[in-house]
Structures are given as C-alpha cells and as structure tokens.
Amino acid sequence: MKKKIFIGIIALIVIFYIISALRYESQPKVGLIRIEGTITDYLDTVSIISEATKDESIKAVVIDVDSPGGAVGASQEIYRAIEKLREKKPVIVSMGNVAASGGYYISTPANVIYSNPGTITGSIGVIIQHVDVSEILNKFGVKVNTIKSGANKDILYPTKPLLPEQKALLEKTVMDVYDQFLDAIVRYRPIKKDVLKSYADGRVFSGNEAKALGLVDKIGNIQDAISEAKKLGKLKEDAPVIELKPKKPLLDELMNSKFGMEKVKSGIYYMMSF
C-alpha cells in the first residue's frame, strides 16, 4: 500500500514537472544568443539562430556580441542567418568588450544596436597576409620544389616571394570583399556609402564614437538591450529571457565536462579575414 502511494506521488511530481515545462516552453519570451571569440566555426551559431527564428514563443532576440572578428565566410553565414531572423521578429545586438571587424559585420542586420560607451568596434576592412621565409631557407640551403597546376596555385605559400602581378590579384580580391562589407553595412545602417568609405579604413572606434558616426544606435548595456527587446516584441516587463545554446549529444557534453577529457581543436588557417 505504501509502495503504491509512493509511486503515485512520484508520478504526480513528474506530471507536474512536464506540465510546468510545457507551459514555460510556450510562454512568450526573449531569446538570448551569445557570439563570443574569433568567428571561425559558424554551424552551431547558425543552428541556434535558426531555432530562434522558428520558435514562435520567442518574440524577440538579443544577440550578445563579444568578438574581434574572424573568417569572411563564417561572418557572412552568420550575417545571413540574422537577416532571416530579422524578417520574423525584432533583433537587438548588445556589444560587449569588443565587436570589431567581423564582430561588427554580424551586428549590422539588427533592428537596434546597443554599445557600451567604451566598447571597441569598427575595424571595417579585409586583410590577407603573406609571410615570405624564402631568404631564411636559402641561408640554410633548404630548397623547396613545388609542382603545381597553375602559376598562382602557391600564391600565398611562405616558401616564395609574392610577385607584383600576384599581389595585384590579391588586392583585387580584397577590395571586392571590402566592397561587400560596405554594402552589408549600408543595407541596414543610416549611412551613405561614400561617407562610410571616408572612415572605413580599418580604424577602431569607441562606442561613443561609433554612435556619433551612426554605426550603432544607442549607448547601453545588455540589460538595456533586453528591455528594448521586450518593448519591440510587445512583451511584459517580467517576461522571461532564455539563453539559447547548441544542442550536443550526451557524449559530447561528457567530453566537455570537467570530469571528461578535453577536446582539442586543430588550428585552421583562414586566408582572408575581417
């Protein structure tokens, strides 16, 4: 008899928990997405943004950006995902310590951009670097034989100097991607492209300077951004805020826990970056 009562109590607790969870899931809320560090891998971030786009209970999204930039392709993937999110619901960006280069690029599609007064932002530009170690190799008598399908297949290899015509090719590519960067900004920012060009030379700005130039909309912190999201999403002041994180298999979670083995990611060289 006691065993049946105990099982009944447990069942009621489980049912209550499930009902509470379902209520919370369907309750109108603000979604919070954090984008931190160098922008390289983008699949998890795009997946989270896609989840926020589809979830009808999420009425507005705050994106907390704290990034110095990163790879061009990854930044453009995230930018496009945020564009699609904006089509469905308000998006508010909150800039942390730094939101520069690619970190600024991904922020521009937001309906409203908040920045702290001392946030480092801007750094609008594109860069490719070439390291030439051929003279060092020659000094030690090291010869590198390269078999290639075309004259420019080894254009950025460090074992040879960069030829003038190769430098011209790279400059053309950099300027094309730079122009894409400018177009991405003026699509959503109240700035004319020719005016933007006058200061989009790679320099950085404080949050206050960025606001004066129209690169950000308002000075404030993440709490201000959340309040703005609730207002634009037509939510109550006490509406919940849920942080969205990538869903990982249990094995991955265990591997990443303090009890598991630390996974080491191999370094990847990105030829061109924001």
Catalytic sites, residue numbers: 101, 153
Sign of CA dihedral 44, 45, 48, 49: negative
Q: 27: which DSSP letter? A: S
Q: Distance between CA 137 and CA 264 in Å, rounded?
A: 31
> Residue 184's closest CA among 193, 175, 174, 194?
193
Note whether 61 and 233 are within 8 A (CB): no
Cα 236 to Cα 241: distance, rounded to the nearest angstrom: 11
Phi, psi for 188 (deg, rounded to 5): -125, -10
Tokens describing residue 116: 């702290």
DSSP character string of 169-187: HHHHHHHHHHHHHHHHHHT
Contact 55, 26 (CB under 8 A): no
Indicate the SS3 state at residue 258: coil
Sort 30 into a burial class: Cβ within 10 Å, 0-12 / 13-18 / 19+. buried
